Amino acid sequence: MKEIFDVIISGAGPSGSILGYLLSESGYNVLILDKENFPRYKVCAGGIQIRAAKMIPFNIDSQIHNVITRIHFQRKSKDDFIGEYDQPLMYTIDRKNFDDYLVKKAVEAGCIVKTGERVKELTVERNEVIVFTEKGRYYGKIFAGSDGAGGFTIRKFNNFRKIRKIIGYEIEIPVLGYGKKYCADRKENADKKSNLALFDKDSVVIDFGGVKYGYLWLFPKNKRISAGMGGLPEKSREIKKYLSAFIKNTDFFIINEKEESQVHAHFIPVRSRNDFISSYRILATGDAAGFGDAFTGEGLYNAILGSHIAFSSVDKALKNSSFEFHDYNKKVSSEIIKNIEYSMIISKIFFSSQYFYYKLIKKNEKLFKSCCRILRGEKTYSDVVNKLKLIKI
């Protein structure tokens, strides 16, 4: 007799693994399919906001490399200022190991995970979904598309070319430490003998002004620094040029020449209101649903929040044998899409007058602290926009 899974999830990134974990913990029969073999590299700066980490339903302490409390801001490497917060703003993780850890947790909870198996097609019948891979076919009651920015789901249900996107370039540089520039105010961190500044564990660097709608980042991860830059896809050449000039500057960090690294690129989809979210027996989560933040380019928070919302909708659907997912659309609209729209507004406002807002944050500690509270989940974009009385939607 053919096996029918309660849920088949395409993609074992954070959104797929966490959804799988939550469903399996509740006793459902779940299959996760991923085209890659794990552990696999994922293009990502590896910054996970505190509010996102808090929503992970198990302990992730073993995965945290750095606890970030300090942001070193600069405009084209000049006009620096440091923003410090008295509580953690985010953690850094290594996505290769982190995602592998999440998959293992999903397996421990009871998920069947098949890696190295790409989802190629899907058909929806009245009583089931049939998922076709390179190796065979699987039957389920529900299909969850969690297969990321360029995966099966986003392409199957949208006109992929028309999806709004940010492009991100990232290189993980093996380092001995940040360069002198970023440790100047922390003499105690300097290695007196070599006069090199040691790794500044609690700081990230954000450099604005290199391209119009985007920024460059340096995030520490143990003995590596994730250096990257995001922006509009049509500015790809400028982004690559700025990033490669930046990482050649030896004042910024001291490279460990013994190891190699290379630049990778990936899209971050930022959904428009009418992009696909769900239909009969199908729902999309994470990057596959276009949950990227237009201002920061982050996606982990919305991916994890989306998995929780998807979990309660799937649970309800299976209990009531009703597979329309209207409640999923509604909840995602109010808890995620609205904030993505605010992130678009903030992005347009900030990047159209970058210099003005840069100065404003530099001078106005209250504004910096409001941004910190967003990262910690104590405030939302809409609170900040409404407070600034810029616009209401």
Ligand X SMILES: Cc1cc2nc3c(=O)[nH]c(=O)nc-3n(C[C@H](O)[C@H](O)[C@H](O)COP(=O)(O)OP(=O)(O)OC[C@H]3O[C@@H](n4cnc5c(N)ncnc54)[C@H](O)[C@@H]3O)c2cc1C
Looking at beta carbons only, is 197 or 336 nearer to ligand X? 336
Region binding ligand X by CB under 6 A among candidate stretches 36-44, 53-61, 176-184, 347-355 = 36-44
Binding to ligand X, residues 126-165 (CB under 6 A): 146-149, 151-152
Report the chain's terminal Cα–Cα distance, integer Å. Answer: 53
State which residue, 106 or 361, has the beta carbon closest to ligand X. 106
Produce one character per residue of 153-163: b if its CB has 16 or more CB atoms within 10 Å, e if not.
bbebbbeeeeb
Query: Among candidates 121, 162, 122, 382, which has minimal Cα distance to 276?
Result: 162
- Identity of the amino acid at 265: A
The nearer residue to ligand X, 101 or 197, going by C-beta atoms, is: 101
In terms of DSSP bridges, do strands 66-68 and 47-49 run parallel, antiparallel, or are they unpaired? Answer: unpaired
Which of 9, 19, 300, 344 contacts ligand X by CB under 6 A? 300
Which residues lie closer than 8 Å to 241 by C-beta, 6 or more apart? none
Q: What is the DSSP string of 374-385?
A: HHHTSS-HHHHH
Question: Rule CB under 6 A: is residue 271 a binding residue for ligand X?
Answer: no
| Binding residues among 321-380 for ligand X as defined by CB under 6 A | none
Q: Is 9 in the site for ligand X (CB under 6 A)?
A: no
As measured in angstroms, the least distance from the Cβ of 380 to ligand X is 16
Residues 70-129 contacting ligand X, CB under 6 A: 118-119
Residue owning tokens 């340096």: 218
Burial of residue 27 (CB within 10 Å: 0-12, 13-18, 19+) is: exposed
Distance between CA 351 and CA 299 in Å, rounded?
19
**What x-and-dash track marks residues 39-68 binding ligand X by CB under 6 A?**
---xxxxxxx--------------------
253 in Cβ contact with 177 (< 8 Å)? yes
- Smallest separation, CB 134 to ligand X (Å): 9
Choice from 9, 23, 33, 336 touching ligand X (CB under 6 A): 33
**What six digits make up the tokens of 112?**
């069947």
Separation between Cα atoms, residue 373 and residue 380, nearest integer Å: 8
179 binds ligand X (CB under 6 A): no
Per CB under 6 A, 15 contacts ligand X: yes
Residue nearer to ligand X on the CB measure, 197 or 217: 217
Residues that bind ligand X (CB under 6 A): 10-16, 33-36, 42-48, 118-119, 146-149, 151-152, 168, 170, 228, 266, 268, 286-288, 292, 297-301, 303
